[in-house]
Structure 1
Amino acid sequence: MSGPHMHSQIELNFVLKGAMTYWFDGRELSVDEGRLCLFWGMVPHQVIDRLPGTQFICLYVPMSAFLGTASLSRFREAVFRGSVIEALHLRPWDREVFLRWRDELLGGDESDIEIVRSELTARVMRIEREGWRDLREQASLIQNSNHRDADWVQHVELMLRFIGEHALEDISTDDVGRAAGLHPNYAMNVFKRGVGMTINQAIIRHRLDTAQSLLISTDMQVTEVAYDSGFSSLSAFYEAFHKRFGEKPVQYRKRMRQGHGDRIT
């Protein structure tokens, strides 16, 4: 991975063997064998180191499924604040189950994919119920990182949360700024400093991540995918999709279902 990246899904990482170190929004976090962590992909993150032979499984829960689970309210608050959640209770069969989920997602069968996503959502609910901790509380800011004012960080978190909850609706950069109680121009500057992209880019990224998921896991027509992902026109969707993925939506769907994709979302 060449640098920190972002996406709109909830990311789960299960370390099968070895250990790896994340750069996570200015902190270094290490996760070793047999540990299960999750976080919101809109927080900039990157794997910066791993022991030789390290193996881990990376799976994604769509934001729509995460938001639709009412029982996760406190847990959801922590995730939106940028917490790196570690499950405190693992089962002997977790390793086998994660391997099966990975294989079924790679297999491309739509029925299997739908079941896996339901099971992943249930696994997240069990993490919330059975106990978890925030790994950021054990990590220090990397030396020479910029220390951010608490109010400034809170504003960015509020804007990210608003985007996560409303990106599929007809929202504007002004709406995002108002959600954090900021003047639009100031909101745009704060957001760009904190996240590394503009508010509008973050909205489009979230919509494209949703479209990517729908293309892989459903037989919806491309037009339906475009509008269900929050795009106001088909032409805007095609332009944004090609700019991000380098191909048309139909070509992308075909390639992913043939098993040549490099990422399962």
Structure 2
Amino acid sequence: MTNAPIINRYESIPVHPELNPAHPLVVFGDHRFCAGEMLEVHKMTGPHMHSQIELNFVLQGEMTYWFDGRELTVSEGRLCLFWGMIPHQVIDRREGTLFICLYVPMSVFLGLASLSRFRDAVFRGAVIEALEIRPWDREVFSRWRDELLSGDEGAIEIVRSELTARVMRIEREGWQDLREQGSALASLGQRSDDWVPHVEKMLRFIGEHAPGNISADDVGRAAGLHPNYAMGLFKRGIGMTINQAIVRHRLDTAQSLLIATDLPITEVAFESGFGSLSTFYDAFQRRFLEKPVQYRRRMRLKGGKQVA
């Protein structure tokens, strides 16, 4: 997201408000189909998260994201997409870089049963880059942006259908994960339309409440489901358990706080939702293969910051 406002058909919300220096990780509560108003890319002062899938089409120049502890550069004419609940931040861009940024509700992706590998890669934290760019993509993305900003509900529904088809073409024509992740991916197989809103509600609940004291049962109840049924549905749909998703989100929050704040490790652990330091250290080292203090020092030195 840029530091311009998002405009959608319901309300305007700031994309990059003044950040509290003690807690610079911003989590946006908007879940709707919308577009970034500004074309110019700006560097951000801290990481942020949001529940939608974000699509970036770079019109000119190039931009560098900090994404889940990695630096990824997207240049002119490239199209990428990722899940906004993975902490991300524009840390650099060439002067005058322009892009089109679209925000798509999770339900659009959850409903694409034929794209299980593609869809599940997104929810596992992949940054998907389309390998095939069509000559008309620039014009089409510009039109989609204009129509989303127009507030015309009929046009917005057409954009939803057209954009869904474009995503299906990305899967068909070829894509790569810019983070070069490889993983075993799950599929729901036989489905009905009923599962999509349930899984979306669970993902939202985790994104909004993981720093608090929540359990897998809480996540299931938030979607109006029996906990055992919810656990099975979530596992088949997303490819990980509810508890794994909760821990993943807490670790995403922790790594952002380690990089962007000077909070003591103990506070980082509890602010991220971990009930004990030992649990935090164990989970952090399993995922990042180093201790939190080492991770903070390495990332700060890489960014040219002094480390105490």
TM tier, shorter chain?
0.5 to 0.7
Range 188-197 or range 29-38, more displaced: 188-197
Partner residue in 2 for 1:46: 89
Contact 1:12 1:37 in 2 (8 A): yes
Instruction: Report deviation, 1:123.
Output: 0.8
Which digits, 9 at most, give the CA deviation of each residue in 1:202-238, with x for residues without a partner? xxxxxxxxxxxxxxxxxxxxxxxxxxxxxxxxxxxxx
The correspondence for 1:133, drawn from 142, 167, 176, is 176
Instruction: Report deviation, 1:98.
Output: 0.6
Partner residue in 1 for 2:157: 114
Contact 1:19 1:54 in 2 (8 A): yes
Partner residue in 1 for 2:64: 21
Instruction: Report deviation, 1:66.
Output: 0.9
Q: CA RMSD in A?
A: 3.4
Q: What pairs up with 1:26-41 in 2 under 5 angstroms?
A: 26-41=69-84
Partner residue in 2 for 1:98: 141
Partner residue in 2 for 1:226: none
Partner secondary structure for residue 201 of structure 2: coil
Distance in 1, matches of 2:175 and 2:55, equals 14
The correspondence for 2:201, drawn from 168, 193, 210, is 168
Contact 1:11 1:58 in 2 (8 A): yes
Contact 2:68 2:252 in 1 (8 A): no
Distance in 2, matches of 1:189 and 1:74, equals 22
Distance in 2, matches of 1:188 and 1:74, equals 21
How many corresponding residue pairs? 177
Partner residue in 2 for 1:215: none
Partner residue in 2 for 1:80: 123
Contact 2:107 2:200 in 1 (8 A): no
Instruction: Report deviation, 1:9.
Output: 1.1
Contact 1:191 1:198 in 2 (8 A): no
- Tell me whether 1:56 sits opposite 2:121 in the alignment: no
Unaligned runs of 5+ in 1: 139-152, 155-163, 200-265
Q: What pairs up with 1:175-194 in 2 under 5 angstroms?
A: 175=217, 191-194=249-252
Contact 1:61 1:121 in 2 (8 A): no
Report the residue type matching 1:18 in the other structure: G
Instruction: Report deviation, 1:174.
Output: 2.6
Partner residue in 1 for 2:253: 195
Instruction: Report deviation, 1:195.
Output: 3.1
Which protein has greater RCO, CA pairs closer than 8 Å, 6+ apart? 1
Contact 1:188 1:198 in 2 (8 A): no
- Structure 1 52/64 Cα, relative in aligned 2: closer, same or farther at 3 Å? same
Instruction: Report deviation, 1:4.
Output: 1.0
Contact 1:83 1:135 in 2 (8 A): yes
Unaligned runs of 5+ in 2: 1-43, 185-196, 206-213, 221-230, 255-271, 275-308
Contact 2:106 2:200 in 1 (8 A): no
Instruction: Report deviation, 1:80.
Output: 1.4
Contact 2:87 2:252 in 1 (8 A): no
Give me the TM-score of the superposition, normalised by structure 2: 0.51
Which digits, 9 at most, give the CA deviation of each residue in 1:128-187, with x for residues without a partner? 00000111129xxxxxxxxxxxxxx99xxxxxxxxx9625269763335966669x7x98
Distance in 1, matches of 2:200 and 2:120, equals 18
Instruction: Report deviation, 1:76.
Output: 0.9
Report the residue type matching 2:130 in the other structure: A
